[in-house]
Amino acid sequence: MFTKVILGRYVPIDSVIHRLDPRSKLVLSLYFIVLVFFANNWQSYAFLAATTLATILLTKVQLKFFWEGIRPLIFIIILTVLLQIVFSAGGTVYWHWGIFSITSMGLVNGVYVFMRFFLIICMSTVLTLTTPPLLIADAVESLMKPLLKIKVPVYEIALMLSIALRFIPTLMDETQKIMNAQRARGVNFSSGSLIKRVKSIVPILIPLFISAFNRAEDLATAMESRGYRGGDHRSKFRILKWRGADTIACVGLAAITAGLFLLRLL
């Protein structure tokens, strides 16, 4: 289960999306997520879905990776959609019982909520699969540099982000190993009551926390022994370069924005 978590995992493929500057990918991804909430009819959602599909195809990444990004959130998505359906009022009433009802407007809103989840998760997955975690941290650091004027610890924030992104896959793999060891000792994580399942998580959390603290201590010792000092006087091994393709991507998203707002008027 945890080996399928794709947050922090990078798929090295030579594609147009992979070659974009991480700053442009980060900004455009966040902008697209905001743009999703401006869709208000099936034409606009279909337009954004086609844009997302085209972006996925440009990454050359197998579609199964995007399914693995959606699968852990299926329960939350379905629950949110159902709540939207049974508690939304308006339109033709198909079923009613107490405070619950299914209406035409509720079904439409449920579809819209599902599409928002789908589009946001897919575009976020495009960012994580096509950009190494350390480059995402470098992009955040570069974009936050103006905050240095108001004494925001930009370099320390970027360092914490890069370490967190770097060790997410490692901790997931460590969790899977601990679960396999506990299964070998007779622990069953998939059966029993809810309370029993919660109790079965304790044998996972304790060794996982111990392992995480040991890794953090080893990392701190290694950084200190190498004389690490944060600040703007450090040289960069990874140099970020804005290219023409990044400008084209920004222009393309601007055209998508214009198309979306045109469809809102229909």
Instruction: Specify if 231 maps to a domain.
Output: no
Query: 77: closest CA among 120, 131, 41, 24?
Result: 120
Per-residue confidence band for 119, with pLDDT thresholds at 50, 70 and 90: very high
State the SS3 of 142-179: HHHHHHHHHCCCHHHHHHHHHHHHHHHHHHHHHHHHHH
What's the domain count of the chain?
2
The candidate with the shortest Cα–Cα distance to 139, out of 255, 28, 51, 227, is 28
In the beta sheet, which residues pair with residue 102?
A: 95
123 in a structural domain:
yes
**Domain contains 140:** no
| Rounded Cα–Cα distance for residues 162 and 79 (Å) | 33
Mean pLDDT (whole number) for 71-77: 80
Band of pLDDT at residue 1, cut at 50, 70 and 90 = very low
pLDDT at 258 over 90: yes
Tell me, yes or no, whether 71 and 124 share the same domain: yes
Whether the predicted pLDDT of 48 surpasses 80: yes
Higher-confidence position of 191 and 140? 140
- pTM for the whole structure: 0.75
Shared-domain flag, residues 245 and 118: yes
Average pLDDT across the chain, whole number: 82
Do 124 and 177 belong to one domain? no
Whose CA is closest to 36, among 122, 104, 103? 122
CA–CA separation, 73 and 95 (whole Å): 28
For residue 134, name the pLDDT band (cuts at 50, 70, 90): confident
Q: What is the mean pLDDT of residues 22-38?
A: 92
User: Is 7's pLDDT higher than 70?
Assistant: no
**How are beta strands 93-97 and 100-103 bridged, if at all?**
antiparallel
Claim to verify: residue 247 and residue 220 sit in the same structural domain: no
Range of the domain at 45: 16-131+241-265
